[in-house]
Structure 1
Amino acid sequence: MAFTFQINNGVKFNHNKNLLKKADENIPELKHEKIHPVKIVDIISDKNAMNGFKAIKSDKKIERLSDYSFKKGQRLVLDFGNHAVGHFKIDLNSVGSPMDAPAYLHLTFAETPAEIGVDSSTYDGWLSSSWIAEEYVHLDVLPTTLKMPRRYSFRYVEIEVKDTSPKWQISFSNPEVTTESAVSVKDVPKVEIDDPMLKKIDQVSIKTLQDCMQEVFEDGPKRDHRLWLGDLRLQALANYATFNNQELVKRCLYLFGGMTTEEGKISANVFTKPESIPDDTFMYDYSLFFISVLKDYFDNFKDQSILDDLYPVAKKEIELALKEIGTDNILKMNEDWPVFVDWSNDIDKQASGQAILIYVLKQFVALAEQKQDNDINKYKRIIDDLSKAAKDELFDSNKGLFISGPDREVNIASQVWMVIAHVLNDDENNELMTKSVEELFPVTGIATPYMYHHIALALFESGHKNDGVELIKSYWGKMVDLGADTFWEAFEPEDPNFSPYGSPVINSYCHAWSCTPTYLIRKYLVK
C-alpha cells in the first residue's frame, strides 16, 4: 500500500467569493453533549488482541476516582465506553505535603488500546509524528481544572504521572468530554434490521459518520480534519440514508466549486482553517466525483439554485477529464493527475479509471438534461464511444473479465467499476460478477473500506445480494468482532494488524470512507 505526496506549488487557484460566501452561510451549528467515563481500565499485552493489546477492567472503581492518588510512574486509563470526538477536561489536586514542584503529566488519547500500549516514541512512518494524539503538560499550582485546548478523537484517555516530588501525589476527579458533531443520532429514522450482525454494523456505521460530520465532512477526526472529495461522495450517500443533513453537503460542494484551479481542475481535498484553502493534490477520479456529489445532492433535495451555481464548474471538469482520453477512446494514464481507485499501487487502474469516467458522464448527462444543455447529445455520444472502447479493448472474452493496462492485468477494481458504471447490460453484469467471485475472491491485497464499499456495491448492483451481505459481514463485521466502536481507515482481513504507516499509533480508527454499510443496508436490504 502506498500513497505519494504531491507538491504542486506553482498551481494558481480561483477563489470565487460568491460561491465561498454560500459555503460559509452553510456552516452548521455544532451539537454538544457532555459524557463521562464508564470505568477505569488497564491496558495489557495480548497476542490474540488487535495489534497485541486489550483493555481490561481495573481494580479501581470509577465511582471512587477522587479517592485514589498517583505518584511518579503511575498511570490512570479512563474508558468512555464508546468513541468520542471533543474536548477533554479533568480536575486535579495534590495529596500529602505542600506542592514543592510542578506536576508533570503525559496524556494519551486513544481510539484503541494499542495506541496506549505501543510506545509512540518508536514510530518512524511516512506520516508526521505530530499527529500522534498525546500531550505533555506542566502544572505549577493545584488544585486546578485541566482543560485541553485541542479537540481529540478517542475512547480511552491515559494520564501518566511523569513526576511530582517525593512529598506529594496527584488525585483526579470529574473527568468529562464535551463532544462535537453537526448531527445527533436522534435524527436518524429507525429501521428494522433482523440480522444481529448487520444491525450492529449499521449502528457502528452511523456512529462513524456522526463523528466525521463536523464543520465539513471530515475524512477522519483523529488526523486530517480535512474535506476529501472521494470521502465526501460516500459520506453524503450515507448521510441521505440516515441524518439527511442538507446544509453540510451544500457547504462542501460550494467549497470545492469555489476554489478550482485557473484551468478549472478541482482539488482532491480542501482545508478550512485558518481559512478555506484548496490543497495542491489532484486525483483524476476524485475531481470527477464532484459531479457525482452534485448529482446525488440534486436527486435528494431538488435544489435548483445550487445546480445553477455549480453546473458550469461540473461541465468544465468534464471537459478537462475528456482531454485525458486517447484517440482510441481509452483513458491515458497521467502521473500528474493520477487515478486513485484505492491506496494500492500494486494494481493497474486504467480500466477502473475508464469506468469511473463513464459512470460520472452518465450522471453529468442527467444534470445536463435538467439544465437543458445544448451539448447533451455530444456527451451521450462520448458515453457510447467510451463504453464501446471498454468492451472492445478492455474486455477479454476468453477470460470473461476486464483487463487493465499494457500487461492486461486482471484485478477486482476493474470488474467492480465496470459493473457500477453499467457498461454491460444487466445479464452481462451478473455474469461478470459471478466470474469475479469465482476467480478473484476472497479479495486480498485491498486494505481500504473505500474499495470494499465499491466491491459490495457491485455485488448488489449485479444481483448478487447474498454475496454482498456476506462481504459486509466478513469485512465490517470482522472489525466489529475486533472491538470497533467506529470503522477504520484501513483494514486488511488477512492481516488484522496491518497499518499503512507501520504503527497503530498513527492509524485512524474512525474514518469517513468506512461508514457506508448503513447506506448499503438501507438501499438494498431494508424494505
Structure 2
Amino acid sequence: MEFQKNQMIKFKHNSKLLEKAQQAKPELKFEKIVPQRTVEIVPDHEELFGYRVAPLSHRITELNQMAFGKGERVILDLGDHHVGNFQIKIDSVGSPMDASLWLHVVFAELPVELGTIHEDYHGLLSSSWLAEEYLHLDVLPSLLKMPRRYACRYIMLEVLDTSPKWKAVFNEPLFTAESAVSLDQVSKLNSGDSVLDRIDQVSCKTLHDCMQDVFEDGPKRDRRLWLGDLRLQALSNYATFDNQQLVKRCLYLFGGLTTEDGQISANIFTQREPIPDDTFLYDYSLFFVSTLADYFERYHDLTVLKDLFPIAQQQLDLALQLMNQDGQIELNSKWPVFIDWSQEFDKAACAQAVTIYVVKQFLELAKEMNVEVKSYQKILNKLTNFAIEKLYDQQRGLFMSGAEKEFSIASQVWMALAKVLPPAENHALMETTQKELFPISGIATPYMYHHVCAALFETQHSAAALDLIKSYWGSMIEYGADTFWEAFQPENPTFSPYQSMAINSYCHAWSCTPAYLLRKYLKS
C-alpha cells in the first residue's frame, strides 16, 4: 500500500461532537518505575532476532559507583514494557569538566533494537521515529529530564565523548509510566492453561500501554487513533478494563472530523488539537459502524447512538456507491481496502464480506433508531446473493476472489464472520479452510490472525482457535515479547511492512485481542 496524499480534501469540524470528545478525555494515571538491573546485549544466533539480554553482576543501586568515558555505555532494564518519560541524574568524576558530555540515549522495546542501533537505517518510514536522542550537556551535575514520551523496556546511555580528563556518572534513573487505566482493574483469566493465561496477561499489558488520551495504535510510533485498531481495542477493553469514556471519546473524535462529503478518515492525530489524516481505507470507514454497534451493544447508550448514527449511515451509504448492479463491491485505488499488511492475497472478496458484515450491524442500529430498513435489507440480499452465486465455488466449498479466482484464508474468514452461508455450511466453510488452506502463511499481522481465530470460534472450531492463539501469540512470548507486536509472520519472523525491523512497533493495539477472544469464547 502506498502513502495517500489527499491534500485538497477539506474536513468539517463539528464543535458539538468534538466538545463531547473533550469532555470524555481521561485523566492519566502515573507510576514511578525504577530500573531493576543493568544488562548487556549479546549477539546470539540461537535467538530469533540474533540478540539476547545478559544480566550484569552489579546491582542497580551500584550505578553511581560506575564511571563512563568515551565509547562506554550502560543499559538499564525496566523489567517490563512501559510508556512514559525518563529522567536521570548525571555528574562528572576526575579532573574538572573541560568539555561537554556528548550523550546518546536509546529507548528499545526489544534487544535487537539495541544490537543493531549503529546500523544504517533504510526503512520506508521516517527515521525520526527511531527512539534515540543525541545530547550535549555543558554543565554537570545535572538532572536530565527527557522531554519526549517513549515506549520501551530497555534504556541505553552511551557516552560518545567526554574528554580524557573526566568521566560521567549516572544516578537515580526513574521512568514515569502512564496510561488511562490500571492493570489492577483486570481480573486474571485463570483458564486452567498456563500458556493461555500468560497470553492473556501480555494482551492486557499491550492494551494498557496503548490506552492513553485515546486508544493509540502503538505508543512507540504513530501514536494515532486508527479506526481499525480502535474497533479491536474497544472489544478487548469491554472484556477487561471496561473504560466506557475512552471508547466514547474516540467515537466522537471520528464523528466530529468528517470530510465535507461526510467520509471518515482512517486515523486522527491527537497530540494537540485533533487533526484527521488525509488517508482513507474502505474497511476502516465501515468499521465506524461496527465500533458504534459494539459500543451500543455493551452500554445501550442512546445519546451516543443518536449523535453518531447519521455519521455511521453516511459511511455505509458512501461505501454502497461502489456496489454495481449485480451487487458486487468494486473498489478503486483512491479508497483501498486494508484487511492485512500482507499483499500476498487478493482482497476483493474480503471487501464484499466486510460490507455484508457491516450492513447487518447497521440494520440492528437502524431498528433502535426506528429508521426504515427495507432498502438496506434489499441491498444486503443483493450483496449476499452475489457472494454466493458468483464467488462461492460449490465444488470446493470455498469463496473465490479477484480475476484470478484466488482462494485465500482471508476470503474464507471474512465470509464466515459475515455469516454469508447458513450455520451448517458456515461451519463446513471453516472446516474446509483448515483442511485445504492451513497451515497459515502469507498473513502479516495479529490483526488478521485475530479474525482467523474469531471465525474459528464463531463456526464452532474452538479447539482449533485455541491452538492457533497458543501457537501464534505464544510464539511471540517465546521470542521474548513483553507486549504483542504490530507485525509477525511465523514463517518469516523478520518481516516488516516498512522494510526495517528497527521501525516496527513491538507494542501494538491490534495484537491485544486474545484478552477478548478468550474471555468471550471460553465462557460460551
Cross-structure match for 1:308: 306
Shift of 1:121: 4.5
Residue 420 (1) aligns with residue 428 (2): no
Shift of 1:274: 2.8
Q: Is the 8 A contact 1:284 1:321 kept in 2?
A: yes
3-state DSSP of counterpart to 1:50:
coil
CA deviation digits over 1:256-282, x for unaligned, max 9?
001111111110001113311111000
| TM-score normalised per structure 2 | 0.99
3-state DSSP of counterpart to 2:41:
strand
CA deviation digits over 1:382-435, x for unaligned, max 9?
112211111001001111100001111110110000000111111111100010
Q: Is the 8 A contact 2:204 2:240 kept in 1?
A: yes
Residue 487 (1) aligns with residue 520 (2): no
Q: Is the 8 A contact 1:486 1:509 kept in 2?
A: yes
Q: Please, which runs of 5 or more residues in structure 2 have no aligned partner? A: none
From 447, 452, 456, the equivalent of 2:449 is 452
Shift of 1:504: 2.3
Q: Please, which runs of 5 or more residues in structure 1 have no aligned partner? A: none
Cross-structure match for 2:279: 281
Shift of 1:499: 2.2
| TM-score normalised per structure 1 | 0.98
Residue 402 (1) aligns with residue 371 (2): no
Cross-structure match for 2:177: 179
One-letter amino acid of the counterpart of residue 440, structure 1: L
Cross-structure match for 2:67: 69
Q: Is the 8 A contact 1:191 1:526 kept in 2?
A: no
Q: Is the 8 A contact 2:189 2:200 kept in 1?
A: no
3-state DSSP of counterpart to 2:336:
coil
Q: Is the 8 A contact 2:356 2:418 kept in 1?
A: yes
Q: Output the CA distance in 1 between the equivalents of 2:468 and 2:392.
A: 25
Cross-structure match for 1:510: 507
Q: Output the CA distance in 2 between the equivalents of 1:288 and 1:126.
A: 27
Cross-structure match for 2:329: 331
3-state DSSP of counterpart to 2:114:
helix
CA deviation digits over 1:168-221, x for unaligned, max 9?
111111111101100001111333221010000000000000000000100000
Q: Output the CA distance in 2 between the equivalents of 1:59 and 1:318.
A: 60
Q: Is the 8 A contact 1:51 1:504 kept in 2?
A: no
3-state DSSP of counterpart to 2:89:
strand
Q: State the percentage of identical aligned residues.
A: 57
Shift of 1:120: 4.4
Q: Output the CA distance in 2 between the equivalents of 1:294 and 1:240.
A: 13
Q: Is the 8 A contact 1:89 1:177 kept in 2?
A: yes
From 401, 408, 411, the equivalent of 2:408 is 411
Q: Is the 8 A contact 1:108 1:158 kept in 2?
A: yes
One-letter amino acid of the counterpart of residue 370, structure 2: Q
3-state DSSP of counterpart to 1:342:
coil
Cross-structure match for 1:392: 389
Shift of 1:236: 0.2
Cross-structure match for 2:245: 247
3-state DSSP of counterpart to 2:156:
strand
Cross-structure match for 2:466: 469
CA deviation digits over 1:427-470, x for unaligned, max 9?
11110001000111111111100000000000000110110001
From 75, 95, 98, the equivalent of 2:96 is 98
Q: Output the CA distance in 2 between the equivalents of 1:499 and 1:263.
A: 35
One-letter amino acid of the counterpart of residue 414, structure 1: S
One-letter amino acid of the counterpart of residue 282, structure 1: F
Q: Output the CA distance in 2 between the equivalents of 1:471 and 1:52.
A: 25
Over aligned residues, Cα RMSD in angstroms?
1.0
Q: Output the CA distance in 1 between the equivalents of 2:240 and 2:314.
A: 32
The size of the alignment, in residue pairs, is 524
Q: Is the 8 A contact 2:265 2:280 kept in 1?
A: yes
One-letter amino acid of the counterpart of residue 479, structure 1: M
Cross-structure match for 1:442: 439
Q: Output the CA distance in 1 between the equivalents of 2:190 and 2:52.
A: 33
